[in-house]
Amino acid sequence: MTTLLRPKAAAAKRVAAQTSMKVKLSSLTLLGESAGSVVVEIDMPGADEPVRCKPAPFKKDGSKAMLVFEQTYDCTADSPITLALVEALATNEPADSEIHFVVFGFVEKDGSGEERAIGLARLSLEGLLEAGKDAASVPLAIKGDNGNGSKVGELIVSVAAVQTMKEIKRASMGEQPASAEGAALPNSSRRSDASAASGASAAPGKPSSATVRI
């Protein structure tokens, strides 16, 4: 049977069968702010809802909170994240592919007491794609006023997303996933590790506007 797909959905269909992204939180420091513990909420483009790490207490001197948290995201064909990133690659706004890290503080070290928003850090997946390199223990500035204010701290993160972003970009250009030998495989099951970060310009490789038949 021949089915006509919307361009973005058709592009998502061409993403390799097994693709994912991994985000890891390592540590957090605050500048001029005080809290007994912190929680970081990760907002991935297209994800159904943000995920949170457990409350991380600050050391006795209040200088640093150690975060032990990893999250793997499904980026297979037709996943909400893949569809969102196909759309992001079609725009001229690197911010459309940003992962947001929202930081909340608590008075108590166990995460109890009143919750208050401290700031927001950003990392652009298109930026990682353009740089061609995953983010490994990268320091991100935490800015107050919902990310638009002055720097209030620093968050250390790692993001494996570059290979997956390459697959998504390849699919958005109308190409099938490539095998290890470079041949086109309509239903490749190759696993893609990846990375992401900083802003990038959207140049070649925007989703095709042609209707795709499957």
Q: What is the pTM of this model?
A: 0.74
**Residue 11 maps to a domain:** no
Give how many domains the chain has, as a whole number. Answer: 1
Q: Which residue shows structure tokens 């061409």? A: 14
Per-residue pLDDT of the chain (214 residues; tens, 9 = 90+): 333 334 455 544 555 445 899 999 999 999 988 889 999 999 999 999 999 999 999 987 777 999 999 999 999 888 999 999 999 998 878 899 999 999 999 999 998 888 999 999 999 999 999 999 999 999 999 999 877 889 999 999 999 999 999 999 988 887 655 533 332 322 333 233 333 333 333 344 443 333 222 2
**Predicted local distance difference test score (pLDDT) of residue 34:** 82
Q: H-helix or E-strand containing 126?
A: helix 125-131
**Residue 162 maps to a domain:** yes
18-30 vs 191-192, strand pairing mode: parallel
**Residue 206 maps to a domain:** no
Q: Which domain holds residue 161?
A: 17-175+185-199
**DSSP strands (E only) in the chain:** 4-5, 18-30, 37-43, 51-52, 56-57, 65-74, 98-106, 115-124, 135-143, 151-160, 191-192, 212-213
**Predicted local distance difference test score (pLDDT) of residue 151:** 95
What residue type is assigned to position 156 of the chain? I
**Predicted local distance difference test score (pLDDT) of residue 19:** 86
| Three-class secondary structure of residue 3 per DSSP | coil
**Predicted local distance difference test score (pLDDT) of residue 60:** 79
**Predicted local distance difference test score (pLDDT) of residue 148:** 83
**Residue 152 maps to a domain:** yes
**Strand pairing partners for 143?**
120, 151
**Predicted local distance difference test score (pLDDT) of residue 130:** 94
**Residue 6 maps to a domain:** no
**Predicted local distance difference test score (pLDDT) of residue 9:** 52
**Residue 170 maps to a domain:** yes
**Residue 69 maps to a domain:** yes
Q: Looking at residue 145, which CATH number applies to its domain?
A: 2.60.40.150
